[in-house]
Amino acid sequence: MRKILALCLLALCLPATADQRLFYQPLNRDASITPAQWQQLWHATVAQGGKTLIVQWSAYGDSDFGGAQGWLANSLRSAHAQGLQLVLGLYMDPAYYQRLEALDGEGQNSYWKAQLGRSLSQYQQLRNTWQLPVDGWYLPMELDDQHFREAERRDALYS
C-alpha cells in the first residue's frame, strides 16, 4: 500500500506538460470568427506553448471554406504569423463512414482511389493557390479496427 501511495505522490510531483500540437477540425460555422479573434486565438495558443497546428481537412465535401482567400486560408496565415507550424489535412468525404460500411472488394478499391485522387487534387490546389508555408500534409481518412477487421478489406486498402 505504501508503494502505491508513494508512486501516486511521485506522479503528482512530476511536472505536467501539454502537447505542443493543436488539432483543428474546420467547420463552416467558424466563418463567423473575425480575423482579430483568430489572431487572438493563435497568439494565446503560442503563448501556452503551442508549436504546431494540425488541420484535419481543408476541404470537406463541397466546402473548401472559401478557398485561397477564404476564412480558413486567412486564419491559417494568421496562425503562421503567430509562429505556428502548419500541417494541413486534405479532402474528407462527409459520407466516409457510411461508404466504408456499404462497400467491399472492388467497390472499396474504387472508393479509396477516388478519395486519394480528391486529396491529391486538394494538395495541388493548396500548393498552387493557397500559398501557405506548410510543414506537413495529412490524409484525414481514418483507419480503424472496426472497418478493417477483415483481411479482404485490409488487402483492398493495401493495394
**Residue ranges per structural domain of the chain:** 18-158
pLDDT band at 150 (very low <50, low <70, confident <90, very high): confident
Predicted local distance difference test score (pLDDT) of residue 52: 97
Q: Quickly tell me which residue has 473575425 as its cell.
A: 34
Average pLDDT, the chain: 87
Answer for the pair 35, 78: CB distance below 8 angstroms, yes or no: yes
* pLDDT at residue 7 is higher than 60: no
Separation CA 39–CA 54 (nearest Å) = 17
* pLDDT at residue 49 is higher than 80: yes
pLDDT band at 3 (very low <50, low <70, confident <90, very high): low
